[in-house]
Structure formats: structure tokens, C-alpha cells
Chains A and B, each alone.
Chain A
């Protein structure tokens, strides 16, 4: 099983700041990694697929990068609606999720 480790667990930032979230895989997942956003009481929403492709309707301030074992989700300038929990997920070896990073208002 591929284990995904996300860091930091919590990120405290202000609106307008840049957010950088990390996801590290226990073995290479090539580029088969996605990012999701989840708000309280809601289902996760697909943001990025295959490491760097934005899903339909996702604003350009969200971007993904990386390959192999190290991946990054960047939110260039935080909007109030971006404060949420973010999960990475791989599809190379079964499907597993990271434990999440909470982006909270500072």
C-alpha cells in the first residue's frame, strides 16, 4: 500500500497569502496524484488530477506540481472560501488518501 504523508497538518494564513501544501508518497506514484478540497459537512471536491491538471471549474489560483514521490498544491492568493481541509490521493497502487492539511484563518 502506498502511504501518503501530508504536511503541515495545519496551515494558519490570512486571506491574500500564498498557501503551499505538501504530499509525500512512500513510493513513486509517477504523476497519478490528485488533490481535493473538503469543507465541513460537504463531500470532497476534486481540484487537481494527474499532479498538475485543474479539474473543471477550478480557479486558476489553484495549481499542482510534482512527480514521483513529492507533490505540492499551491493556492496563489487565499480567498475566504479556500479555508478548508485538503487531501491528496494516489491511484497507482490501489487508491489511498493522505491524512489531510487544514488551512485555517490566522
Chain B
């Protein structure tokens, strides 16, 4: 059974870079039709798509975040990663990683990242 697990710091200082990793187990990250994405949810609020990556390295990003986001993949470790630069308190959220065919059909449990000094 496919499982995704987010990992990384739960606290990041303003202006610094948020870095998270998603580890995929129970299935291959090298599936031609799938993308691997990041979605976030501020506390008590709705969902926002950040972006995603294909195992080939092809990426797509939310235009509103594109200038601050980099998503990368390491197929040898079955991992993909998120970097969000120059964070502010508005970036405080639960960050989910997910497998996506046309829609995200398999999600990690999420990790709360708080931006605070």
C-alpha cells in the first residue's frame, strides 16, 4: 500500500527557507503518469496547491508562489522535496505531500510548519 510521509523542521524563522521532504514507500515514484505534489492548509483555513514534480524532473508551480518555490526529486531515495524561500507568518500551515494522477488521490498525514522568531 502506497504511503507518503512528510518530514522536516516544525519551526522556521521569518525570512528563512522552509525545507520539507516527502518519502514514498509501498510503491514506485517512477510511475510515468503520476506527479508528486505539495499542498498546504493554514490553521483553520482552506487548501492551497503549491506545486508538483514528475520523476523526470518536470515541475509545475502555483503562479502566486512560483518566485519562492523549488520542488525537486531524488528517485534513488524515493523522495521529493519542497523549498519555500523568504517565509513569513502567512506561510504557517500544515504542509501535505500527495501523489497525483489528475487529482491527488493519496496524501501524507501532513506536517505543521510554524513561521516564528
Contacts and interface: CB of A to CB of B under 8 A. Distances in A.
Interface of B: 46-49, 62-63, 96, 98, 102-105, 107-110
Contacts of A46: 103-105
A47 to B, nearest CB: 10
A64 interface: no
Specify the main secondary structure of chain A where it touches its partner: loop
Contacts of A56: 105
B46 A43 contact: no
Nearest to B109: A43
A46 B104 CA distance: 7
Interface centre among B46, B98, B108 (most CB of A within 10 A): B46
A97 B98 CA distance: 15
Interface string A31-65: 01010000000111110011000011000000000
A33 B98 CA distance: 17
A96 B49 CA distance: 7
Interface of A: 1, 32, 34, 42-46, 49-50, 55-56, 87, 89, 91, 94-100
B103 A87 contact: no
A94 B107 contact: no
A50 B47 contact: no
B62 A49 contact: no
B102 A97 contact: no
A91 B103 contact: yes
Given A43-B108, A43-B109, A43-B110, A97 B47 contact: yes
B103 A34 contact: yes
Contacts of A50: 102
A44 B102 contact: no
Given A43-B107, A46-B104, A49-B103, A95 B49 contact: yes
B34 to A, nearest CB: 14
A100 B41 CA distance: 12
